Structure 1
Amino acid sequence: MSGGLLEVKMEYTTSVDIGTVTSLLSNMTSESSCALVDSTVENMVFGGYYILVFLLALNGNALALWVFSRQRGTSSPANVFLLHLAVADLSYVIILPIRATYHLTGGHWPFGEVPCRLAGYLFYVNMYASLYFLACVAGDRYLAVVHAVRSLNVRRARYAHIISFMLWVLVTVSMAPLLLTQQTAEVEGMTVCLQLYREKASHKALFSLAIAFTPPFLSTLSCYLLIIHSLRKGSRLEPQLKLRALRTIGLVMLIYMVCFLPYHASRATFILGYAHPEVSCQTRRGLSLANRLTSSLTCLNGALDPLVYLFGAEKFRGTVKKLFCKDRAGGSGATSGGEMKGTHESSISAKSEF
């Protein structure tokens, strides 16, 4: 797992020649055949997209962080991992406004060197922290459903916090090289932040890229396939809870397929094809645009993760219902009490898990 998180470290330690990158970008912008997409339209679309994602992700994850932080005493391991997932999302969401500004000003970076490095650093920290925390949630759900009795002594919030702390140390340290190298360059009178989309990469990063994505993806997929098999074969979950479980599984896999899989597939293609001498300028432009599009999709996980909290954490769902329905229901003590009571039932029934 530690090797997997070293993609960026390997990329930046092997290809940090800013002069070469600047020359490459200058050549690209000077060739009209590369401009297959109207840059003005492209920048407006990206800028508006980042603002929309910022508003959705900020509100959803701030609410989630507030709810989970109030459940320390009785929190389940899954809720602990979701709490840290919300922190990871917020750590990157706060950077989206300046990323939007970069596009809305026509691809000019007015914020200086340090914010450029920080923007790329938080991008990778968020992406890989999200990947591994979602994998941890999948592993916890697997234990709760398939090995409910045998996992009682293992599935504790204290252990989940320890695992989360270790993951944070691993991710932040592995991404640290991003903060140490210059990432801005002057291209045709404009300051470009090379950190945002990593439009130059070493072939050596391909192996590290595969390791970075494959373990959490396969772990999550395997856990959820085993859960589905257990649910179909027969489990102690009630039909309604089975449906909630399947919805949660489907939503998490959707996040992987929409936010993470396209980026890593496109990134691998970009690394293999962009610097190839036989690749035309038009193909390079297409690879660069695909790299930007899929990179922007990874930001969408910050807006989709609150849906995982809503479907996957009963306490979160109960609190949201209480917040938004109390006026119509007059504070509905019976409903809230039922929701809270369900969260204290044993993990054998798995009601607190879905």
Structure 2
Amino acid sequence: MSSGTDLESDWSSLSADVMVTGSLSLTNSTGPMACRPPYDEGRLPLVLLYSAVLMVGLPANLLTVYLTWLQVSRKNVLGVYLWSLSLCDLTYLCTLPLWTRYVSAGHSWPWSSAACKLTGYIFFNNMYISIFLLCCISCDRYVAVVYSVESRGLRRQRLATLIAVAIVLLVAVGHVPVFTMREGDAAEGDRRCFEPSQSGATVTGFNYARFAVGFLVPLLVLLGTNCGIMVNVRRSTGLRREQKVRVCWLAVAVVLLFLVCFAPYHVILLVRAVMFHFPQLEDGTCLFERTMYTPYTISLGLSTVNSAINPILYVLSSDNIRKELSRGLLRVPKGLRG
């Protein structure tokens, strides 16, 4: 996660620069049609992916927003991060019908430019708020497991609330320049909404920053904390075998989910950034952009899977929330439970 005010200011300035330059078309440097992305490729898989994520994620997050709020009201520290994550995911999922309509129409935005900017703003905010909150959850679990006695005075709900608010504000302010862009405006007869652009020096620098700060550092945090949790749990003599297996499974699943959802997108960003340093390969760069367009859009879609799996992976793995859910089900009339 962020390491200080210098990093925060760098993130904000890089965001401003990339948003100003990010709407440049792939057709700028090599002719009007030479680098036109294959908008129709991968359309069906992406529509199916968005639809599946919406059907699973919407009811799951609605339920977990309520369950985690109950934990927050009972002064549960981890509940603050889980509630923030569920609310963030729920907000993003509400934009999926717009993205699905956009993709199914051949990447032609049918609504206003303002709607495009707002949708993109919510998407990019969700991605990085989710990533940083996932780090907070893993760090909190690590402290609670490894330093269970010492952490009693450190793990406070007020501190967790301040951290969650700081993350949301940092990411939200960093992406405000989205609203200064010309995304969603008519260009060449079509309205495009946040399509990948031809990389310039500023965009390349921003891609490096997103890979390092938004992916690599969080990945190292998740690896370190979850490995520490597994080592400590295996040494514990106060846990039953099934409890140890469940905790270790959750630790492995957290890292795997992060890699599946966010690694493809950020690796493609890194490769595109590296390609910028080889301007002599102009034809190769054009071919690369055309070839990587479909994997890029699919990788962007994969990042949405995180919003559907988070409630299942985190919330239902919490003993307190599972008990809360069980008590709620017991209150449901037998006829409704089938």
Q: Same fold (TM over 0.5)?
A: yes
Please name the residue that 1:317 is paired with: 322
Please name the residue that 1:53 is paired with: 53
Partner Cα distance (1:77, 1:310) in 2: 13
**Residue 10 (1) aligns with residue 8 (2):** no
Alignment of 1:50-89 (within 5 A): 50-89=50-89
CA shift, 1:321, in A, is 3.3
CA contact (8 A) 1:270 1:288 kept: no
Partner Cα distance (2:74, 2:129) in 1: 24
Partner Cα distance (1:40, 1:291) in 2: 13
Which of residues 21, 24, 31 is equivalent to 2:28?
24
Please name the residue that 1:343 is paired with: none
**Residue 97 (1) aligns with residue 97 (2):** yes
Please name the residue that 1:113 is paired with: 113
TM-score (norm 2): 0.85
Q: Tell me the secondary structure at the aligned position of residue 158 of structure 1.
A: helix
1:43-97 deviation digits (Å, cap 9, x = unpaired): 2322222122112111111110011122333242212111100011112111111
Change in Cα spacing, 1:288 to 1:24, as seen in structure 2 (3 Å) is farther
Please name the residue that 1:124 is paired with: 124
Alignment of 1:1-354 (within 5 A): 1=2, 3=7, 9-10=13-14, 12-14=16-18, 16-17=20-21, 20-21=24-25, 23-24=27-28, 27=31, 30-31=33-34, 39-40=39-40, 42-193=42-193, 195=194, 197-201=195-199, 202-209=203-210, 210-273=212-275, 276-277=278-279, 278=281, 279-324=284-329
Partner Cα distance (1:168, 1:200) in 2: 29
Partner Cα distance (2:265, 2:8) in 1: 15
Partner Cα distance (1:187, 1:295) in 2: 23
| Two-structure CA RMSD over aligned residues (Å) | 2.9
Judge which range, 88-97 or 283-292, deviates more.
Answer: 283-292
TM-score (norm 1): 0.82
Q: Tell me the secondary structure at the aligned position of residue 21 of structure 1.
A: coil
CA shift, 1:213, in A, is 2.0
Judge which range, 242-251 or 96-105, deviates more.
Answer: 242-251
Change in Cα spacing, 1:25 to 1:111, as seen in structure 2 (3 Å) is farther
CA contact (8 A) 1:274 1:284 kept: no
CA shift, 1:139, in A, is 0.9
Change in Cα spacing, 1:122 to 1:311, as seen in structure 2 (3 Å) is same
- Could you list the runs of 5+ residues in structure 1 that have no partner in the other structure? 332-354
Judge which range, 48-57 or 123-132, deviates more.
Answer: 48-57
CA shift, 1:147, in A, is 0.6
CA shift, 1:174, in A, is 1.6
CA shift, 1:126, in A, is 0.7
Partner amino acid for 2:115?
P
1:224-244 deviation digits (Å, cap 9, x = unpaired): 111111122335333222122
CA shift, 1:129, in A, is 0.8
Change in Cα spacing, 1:48 to 1:27, as seen in structure 2 (3 Å) is farther
Partner amino acid for 2:122?
L
Change in Cα spacing, 1:18 to 1:281, as seen in structure 2 (3 Å) is closer
Partner Cα distance (1:26, 1:304) in 2: 41
Total equivalences in the alignment: 326
1:303-328 deviation digits (Å, cap 9, x = unpaired): 11011234432222223334456669
Q: Tell me the secondary structure at the aligned position of residue 87 of structure 2.
A: helix
Partner Cα distance (1:48, 1:26) in 2: 33
CA contact (8 A) 1:270 1:287 kept: no
